[in-house]
Structure formats: structure tokens, C-alpha cells
Structure 1
Amino acid sequence: MGVIIYSVLIAFLLSILQGPLFIPILHKLKFGQNIREEGPASHKKKAGTPTMGGIIFITTTVVSILIMNKNINSNVIFVFLCFLAFSLIGFLDDMLKIIHKQNEGLTVKQKSLLELIASCGVAYYSYVHFGTDIYIPFLKISMTLNPIIYILLVIFYMVAVTNAVNLTDGLDGLASSVTLLVMTFFGVICFSWHQYPLSIFCGIVIGTLLGFLKYNSYPAQIFMGDTGSLGLGGAVAGVALVLKLPILVIIVGGIYVIEAASVVIQVTYFKRTGKRFFKMAPIHHHFEKLGWHETKVVSVFCIATVVLCLISFLALF
């Protein structure tokens, strides 16, 4: 337990110390966020806020893993590579947005192709090293899938989770706070299941997010960008894969699911009727349009995540 606490504290210190270093540099390089024209009016003032704060996640995680190297195993390396692969895709997307000076980076086809390539690698490694068993929450049984079906499902799962976390990153501190709670849940599960090295990795992510929230909570001084949100999605999805709990992400990451589902519903409904189902999607913007301050949206979504974590514990124990 002491080693896990050290991992949280080390990552927290590394993360919080990098804020005063990176924020001025990003300002100087004019790596500012471009705000969607159709977005809430209250977000216009955020234009120019430094983005790509996910770089802090990468540097903190790398240094923390090197410091804690005696407690690292192949599972941790696998999850770290899941995190890094999707972070790099997000980094490329963020860079193109900055170069083009608009809220469009990679095209949908380009981004989807890169995510599919990364997901195929994850799926194959997972099949070879972890087998095709997945745990069914509440029923408390494991199901062995056909290898081809397993690989296809993992590919879909990785793309879905990473993009769902990315969609959640639309308000100051929202994705950071929700993912902090989700990773805390998985850290407890790892520890209780004696997956100590993996619980240390969860501790590193927890510490990183705690430090980052100092600068990302309202009013945000820096945004994580796709570099951070896609990377966090890769980390969450990777940890759940190692534990054979990808289905549980639907519950514990319920906010991610709702955010992604709201976009699908909005697009489908608009194509069929020409009208909007929500005032704006993803759904956190819908609540803003209803008059909620973004801090209230973040608080309510965090409360919901805590409840979902408790339900997830019941699903396992």
C-alpha cells in the first residue's frame, strides 16, 4: 500500500510542478484552444487558453514509471503503451488544429485509421497474452469468446472508449475529474485482486490528474487537448482489458457512455427529422444550454460517477 501512495504523491508533485513551466511556454508558442463557433457563448472567452496539456500526462507518467521501475511488470508496460499510442494520435490532432488555427485537426478518416491501427495492435496483444476470457458483472462468471470475435470486440472497444473520453473533455475539469474517479475505482480493484504493479500505474494516473486539476479546474488555465483525453481513454481501456473487465467500463464509465450516446442520438435524430434532440451535444453542453453553470455540470457528473463506482463494486463483490 505504501508503494501505491508513493506513486500517487510522486506523480502529483511532477504534474503540479510542470504547470508553471508548460503554461507560459504554450502561451508563448500560441498553442491556444480554438473554440467551436456553434458552442455555448460562455466558452468564447476561453479562446486562446493553452491546450495540449496532455503532454504533462506523458512526461509525468514516463518519469514516474522510471522512478517506480522495480514495481513495474509487462502488464504496466502494455497499459502504458495503450495510453501512449492514443496520446500520440491526439498530439497529432492537436498540432494540426494549432497549425490550421481552427477546431479541426485530423480528418475523420485519418483519425479513425490511426485509432484502428492502434486498436488492432492492442487487440492482438491482448488475445495472445491475456486470452479471450471476459468477466460478466453481476453474474460473476467468465465467458470465453471465439478469438476472431474477441479481437473484433476489443478493436471496437478501444475506439469507443477513447473517443467517449475525448467527447467528455468539453468543460473545465470534467474529463479530469471523472477519469480520476474511474482510475481510483480500478486502482482499488487492482489492489484487492493483488495486481499490485497495475495498481501503481493507476496511482500514477491518479496523481497526475490531481496535479493537473490545479490548472484545469474552472476557470481552466490549460486544457488537456486530444493529447490528454485520448491518452486517458487508452489508459482506462487498457487497465480494464488486463483485468478482463471491459464490460464493466460501461457501468463505471457511465458518464463516458452517456456523452458518446448523446452525440449518436443527436446526429441520428437530426438526419431523420432535421431537428435537434438535445439543445446541444455532447450532453454536458445541453445542460449548459438549460442554464447550468459548468461547475454544476462537473459536480453532478462527478457525483454520478461516484454512484456508478459503488454500483460497480456491487457488480464485482
Structure 2
Amino acid sequence: MAKGKILENLREEEESNSTATPAEQDDRGSFDKSKLAAEVSTPFRTLRLFIYGAFATSALIGGLTACTQLAASVANQLDALPLSQCLLNVGVDFGVVAVCVYAYNFENKQRQGLVEQKRAEREQAALRKQSVIPEEVTKSRVERLRELQIRLTVSESETKNVPLGVLMQEAQHGLVLWHLEAKQDVVLVAGGKEMLRDAMLRATVNREIFTANNLLIVPVQVADPSDPTAAVTDKGFGAKPAYFKQGFVGEPAEEDEWRALVAEEIRDADRQGNSKAAKQGVVLVVSRDGKVLRRGLGMPKWDMIRQDLYPNAKVDDMGRRLVE
């Protein structure tokens, strides 16, 4: 009976720890892993704290002794030290105490801040581990991405909506458009108006990376929580931004469908602890064979994206992939 009760208690404790946060597990454990990580990152901080404490204790004892000497000097006792010397000793001893206490408190606050940082990092890592996007969800989302429409300009007065998946495959359907001359990798950039403008400005400066590497950028504007006046309506973008005139930029048709896909990416980021995903923007890099190579937040780093897509490719000084 006793053995069965012990095993039952152990199972309950294991289940409780499995659902607890890292901070709660640290409180329940025999030692705080976050504190251990902080000590490893700053191994001499404990030594400094010990030195400050030792010096403060020694100076405090010296200061108390100097106070007795000062009292003797004020009372004009025989063999008492001069008053000036006693005052100097008291000032030096208690000055050292004050400096050591300040240094100790400063170091201790730094240590506590580092412990909290390590604990937050552990919680974020645990949250990301628990919120890993299943492979089936990723594949389903890529298939949806392939079905979304891109608006292509056939002539000055005619446009044509084409599924993105067509642009990621070989030329077909007899369409003679530069988009369909070769397979294309896709970079989906979603964010507020200002974020998209800055991202596409950087892309335009580095246009050689895209035109020479068959990269297609699809910018999708979503509502920016920090700027309510820039909310997106059902009518879409309104006046078309100038960056859609670039040959490596694909204009999304049926924008609501694109935003629905982006909203799922933002929710996944929220579940992983990135609460500012909607404000920072989302970047999704998908290769032409349907593999998600990068999920990121914030401003896209175009050089890193090119390296993700072509890790072993040779490039020239302009970042263009050299075809052997």
C-alpha cells in the first residue's frame, strides 16, 4: 500500500511538472536552473559579491573601532589619537562600507535581471517547443498558398489572375509572360503600410538578387495595430504602390484570401510567444518545390533569404546566382 501510494505521488508530481512553466519548475526543484544559467554566463559575479561583502564587513568593524577612538579623543583621554586622525579613520571606513554596499546592490540587481532574462528565455523556448507547427499544417498551408491568385499585367489595359502555384512550376498554359519562363521561388512579405514600403525599398535597391535568381516577392498589406488610421479595407490597397511596377514583385489578387493566410501565420507566432508579430510583420520563404525554408518576423533580410534558397550557389559581386 505504501509503495503504491509513493508511485502514485511520483506520477502526479511528474504530470504537474510537465504542465508547469519553467519558472514554476524552478521553484519546485532543488535548484533554480535559470540561476544556474546566469551563474555560468557570469562566473566571477559571485566572487565579486563575496569580495564586496568581505570588504564591507571589515570596514564596518574598522569603523566601529574608529568610533570608539573618536569618542576617546573627544573626551580628551590619555593616549587618545588626534581628533583629525579619528575623523579621517571614521570617514574612510564608512566610506568603504558605502561603496561596497552600493557595488553589492548593483551587482545583485544585475544578477537578478540576468536570472529573469534566462527564465524568460527558457519559457519562450518551452513555449516554442510546445507550439511547433505540425508538418501537416505547413503542407496544407503551402497548398493554399499555391492556390492564391496573382494579378499579372498582360497589356496596358488587360490583367490576368494566375494561381501562384503556376508561377512556381514550369511554363504552361501557353502564357508568354516573363513570370512563366522558369520556376520561381516565393517570398511572402506581410505587414503594415510603412513596413512594406521600407521592405520593398530595400528590395528595389537589391533588385539584382531577385531578377537574376528567379525570386518573386508577394507583398501583402495587413492592418498595423500601432497605426489604426492605416487599417486595410475590403477594397484592398486603393492606389497601387509603385513597387508593384517592379518585375520581381507579384500583385496579390483577392487580397482577403491572402490576409486570411497571413492571419494564421500571425496566430502561430502569437502561440510561440511573439506577441508583436502583427506589428512587426511576417516573412515566409517558400521554395519552388513547396518547402518552407524560413519563417520570420520584422524586416526581411534579403541576403539571408538568398542564402536560404541557394546555400551552395556561387554569386557575383551583385549577389546574382551564377549558373554554370
Please tell me the TM-score bracket, short chain as reference: under 0.3
Higher-Rg member (1/2): 2
Please identify which structure carries the higher helix content. Answer: 1
- The TM-score, its normalising length taken from structure 1, stands at 0.24
- The TM-score, its normalising length taken from structure 2, stands at 0.24
Please identify which structure carries the higher strand content. Answer: 2
* Larger RCO, structure (CA 8 Å, separation 6 or more): 1
